[in-house]
Homo-oligomer: A and B are copies of this chain.
């Protein structure tokens, strides 16, 4: 869990955001924002004093990153997906929509696998069916003797 960041004292007319402000508003630690930037998931420009400044859009971008992570997508893939966004203009609703459709598919796939696993778990581990013949959790290798391919547990 990211450390709870304190909101820095608000600047008078913050059209751009400091890293602390982004942290406070996005619920993501400053260190994580630095990290995302090193990894190329977000970008900033610098103030005269070499401090990071972000456009407000970064909030949505960070929100999207967090959401994608929840679906189980690794940062590297999120980066790739974000890279498909238009480079020199603010992403539109349609841009985000395309992203979300991709990710929804991945989510569905994960949900499907987990559901299948749950059903097998219910039917299998706990069923007491120690019989090799009936339990998909049992290693087929045991049945097949000493040849055949390596065992696969619940592979799909």
Interface residues of A (CB under 8 A from B): 4-5, 7, 10, 24-27, 59-60, 63-64, 66-67, 70-71, 92-94, 96-101, 103-104, 107-108, 110-111, 113-115, 117-118, 121-122, 124-130, 137-139, 141-142, 146-147, 150-154
Task: List 18 A-B pairs, Cβ < 8 Å.
Answer: A7-B141, A24-B151, A27-B139, A63-B153, A64-B125, A66-B153, A66-B154, A67-B117, A67-B125, A71-B118, A94-B128, A97-B125, A97-B127, A98-B126, A100-B124, A100-B126, A103-B125, A107-B118
Query: For residue A24, which residues in chain B have a CB less than 8 angstroms away from its CB?
Result: 141, 150-151
Q: Identify the closest chain B residue to A108 (Cβ).
A: B118
Q: Identify the closest chain B residue to A56 (Cβ).
A: B142
Q: With A100-B121, A111-B115, A126-B97 given, is the CB distance from A154 to B59 under 8 Å? A: no
Q: With A70-B154, A153-B27 given, is the CB distance from A104 to B127 under 8 Å? A: no
Given contacts A107-B117, A107-B118, 12 further A-B contacts (CB under 8 A): A26-B139, A27-B151, A59-B139, A64-B125, A71-B118, A94-B128, A96-B125, A99-B126, A100-B122, A103-B125, A104-B121, A107-B121
Query: For residue A64, which residues in chain B have a CB less than 8 angstroms away from its CB?
Result: 125
Q: Which of A98, A108, A114 has the most CB of B within 10 A?
A: A114
Query: For residue A127, which residues in chain B have a CB less than 8 angstroms away from its CB?
Result: 93, 97
